Amino acid sequence: MTFKLAASPHSHQRRTTQQVMRWVYLALIPGLLTLIYFFGWGVIWQLGLAITTAWVAEAICMALRGRPIGFAWRDHTALVTAILLAISIPGLAPWWLIVIGTAFSIVIVKHVYGGVGQNIFNPAMAGYVVLLISFPVQMTSWPLPAPLSQFDLSFIDSAVLIFTGYTPNGFDLEQLRMGADGMTMATPLDSLRTALNHQLTMGEALQQPIFGSLAGIGWQWINLAFLLGGLVLLKVRVISWHIPTGMLLGLAIPAAIAWLFSPDQSVSPVMQLFSGATMLGAFFIATDPVTAATSNRGRLYFGLLIGFLVFVIRTWGGYPDAVAFAVLLANMTVPVIDKYTQPVAYGHGERS
């Protein structure tokens, strides 16, 4: 009989980084397909550009560092970063936007800090925030969801618009974002923010056609699809329940309190949970094992902090969706959270 020795940390399920990342991008498929259904073929083009850029940037960085290029491609970390960033930006955004964001995520956020396992910030969200701050118009120009759009762009039409700025018929993105009444429409969270700033009540704001029965046409189903994928990750134990539960509670509890005391001026908890990037953030972004807290108690606090920050920024900040900013701010607190939530080693008594 032989005994195998392995260095800590010890796990009951030995999974390689490649296997974990494979589960992540497979679980993203329901949300990705729903995103394509509501926002068109441009999502596929953004994915292709992001993945190509990520692989090229990864190869260049590994070559410059004297590391084997093939290994970096096989671990799928760059692939998952590219996918998360691509599905976070508008599907018809100009081609150079996703190229800049993905290159920044891989080169600066990942490799400047030492590569896989060394980065302190979530690469996809850091790239997203850089794009949002640098190019706010392009990053907030989401097209109308399919049920409300007057235009039906083909796969080729979407490519022409992404690479030239115009469809073959001469329409630009701003024209494609107009509803049947000729008014340019925004995402549900952005529409709510604008309506409340104009002193409309919540009931008046929800009369806009962008809102569905749950949280917003298109977005509610996208969030439900990402929730389904997240439950798959929980089922196969790729992630634990602590961060998603913490984030959703950290957002829902203050939203419920605000809605209870001021329903005419507050976004409902249901709208908060099923609009924007809430479910994507809770199950696929905040759970990044490199940039999240390490202990179970620490992960719960980490998730609660992200959820609360999302509520604060959505309510009083300058951006209607706040998941990326909340995740990056929480990433900064991980060393402190880990310091005060590490379990006491057996036999060492109370921590001093």
Quote the tokens at residue 227.
Answer: 């929730």
- What is the pLDDT at residue 269? 92
What's the pLDDT at 11? 47
CA angle 101, 88, 163 (to 5 degrees): 60
Q: pLDDT value at position 180?
A: 47
How far is the C-alpha of 281 from the C-alpha of 326, rounded, in Å? 10
| Digit-coded pLDDT (tens) for 26-85 | 999 999 999 999 999 999 999 999 999 999 999 999 999 888 877 767 788 999 999 999
Instruction: Kindly report the average pLDDT of the chain as a whole number.
Output: 87
Residue 196 predicted with pLDDT over 80 = no
Is residue 8 pLDDT above 50, yes or no?
Answer: no
- The answer to whether the Cα torsion of 207, 178, 195, 225 is positive or negative is positive
Q: What are the Cα distances from residue 91, in Å, to 39, 133, 155, 203, 247?
A: 7, 18, 12, 30, 26
**pLDDT at residue 7 in the model:** 45
Percent of the chain predicted with pLDDT > 70: 90
* Least confident stretch, 246-255, 287-296, 340-349: 340-349
Q: Is the confidence at residue 183, as pLDDT, over 50?
A: no
Residue 16 is classified by DSSP as -
Q: Specify the pLDDT at position 189.
A: 80
Q: In this predicted structure, which of 137-146, 160-169, 227-236, 319-328 has the lowest mean pLDDT?
A: 137-146
Q: Is the pLDDT of residue 120 over 70?
A: yes
**Per-residue confidence band for 161, with pLDDT thresholds at 50, 70 and 90:** very high
pLDDT > 90: percent of the chain:
57
pTM of the shown model: 0.89
Sorted by sequence, the CB contacts under 8 Å of residue 349 that are 6+ apart come out as none
pLDDT of residue 186: 67
Gap between the Cα atoms of 288 and 300, Å rounded: 14
pLDDT reported for residue 184: 53
Q: Is the pLDDT of residue 158 over 80?
A: yes
pLDDT of residue 240: 95
pLDDT tens across 123-134, in order?
999 999 999 999
Check residue 9 and give its pLDDT. 46
316/243: higher pLDDT = 243
3-class SS of residue 172:
coil
pLDDT of residue 185: 59
Q: Are 269 and 215 in contact (CB under 8 A)?
A: no
The rounded distance, in Å, linking the Cα atoms of 109 and 302 is 20
The pLDDT value given to residue 352: 44
pLDDT recorded at residue 29: 96
pLDDT of 278: 95
Q: Which one has a higher pLDDT value, 337 or 72?
A: 337
- 298: pLDDT confidence band, cut at 50, 70 and 90? very high
Domain parsing of the chain, residue ranges: 17-181, 186-340
